[in-house]
Amino acid sequence: MRVWAIANQKGGVGKTTSTIALARVLVARGLRVLLVDLDPHGSLTRAFGVPEEPAPRGVADLFATPPGTLGLLMRESAVAGLDFVCAQTSLATLERRSVTQPGLGLALSQALSRHEGHDYILLDCPPMLGLLVVNALAAADRLIIPTQCEPLSLHGLAGMKRTAAMIERSRRRPLPVAVLPTLFDRRTRAGRDTFALLQEKYREDVWEEPIPIDTLVSNAEVL
């Protein structure tokens, strides 16, 4: 079982869309995939048609005492081989709880270590550094950083790389990084220059083909 975290400390770079697209590619290859929505805003959860109210069972239950299990919390999607675990708005309270409840930083790793039945688990992370992102990076075998092809996104990428390096040192095992250029508009100089800079600065970490802006993707029913 492989665990990939899809994360960036900047919002609006295509994390959830990239997570769903990766999942569909893996499922098309005959692999079983579990998506875990770690973002309190629940964009991935909403993509599956799960309403915000009443609050579903999901990721927050992994941080309860005693913790829930992924096998009981996951739901089947309409796509064969693709399952998911919902986010809840209560995830936003975890930062406060971590002050008085030690061990929350490894809750996700512990839940994943007990799980079987999927070839890949993809973790859709919130757009800020905090307990949920730390959990994801501590558990991941690979970090994928979607990065919008515009100059300001480079700051978020640099911050995410620093965070990944810090977690890698702490957990004492490698955390390979892949930079995924997204929302690329080849008609603009800013888009072309940013993609070239990504290739120059991060070299082998950058995916060869950027993901272009496509209004059909934005308007599609992805699930």
Give tens-digit pLDDT for 156-199.
898 899 999 999 998 889 999 999 999 988 899 988 999 899 99
Provide the strand spans (E) within 31-127.
33-37, 75-76, 82-85, 120-124
Phi, psi of 187 (to 5 degrees): -75, -20
Give tens-digit pLDDT for 78-122.
999 999 999 999 999 888 887 667 778 889 999 999 999 999 999
Mean of pLDDT values over 214-219: 52
Note the pTM of the prediction, 2 decimals.
Answer: 0.91
pLDDT class of 204 with cuts at 50, 70, 90: confident
Largest CA distance in the chain: 53
pLDDT at 143: 97
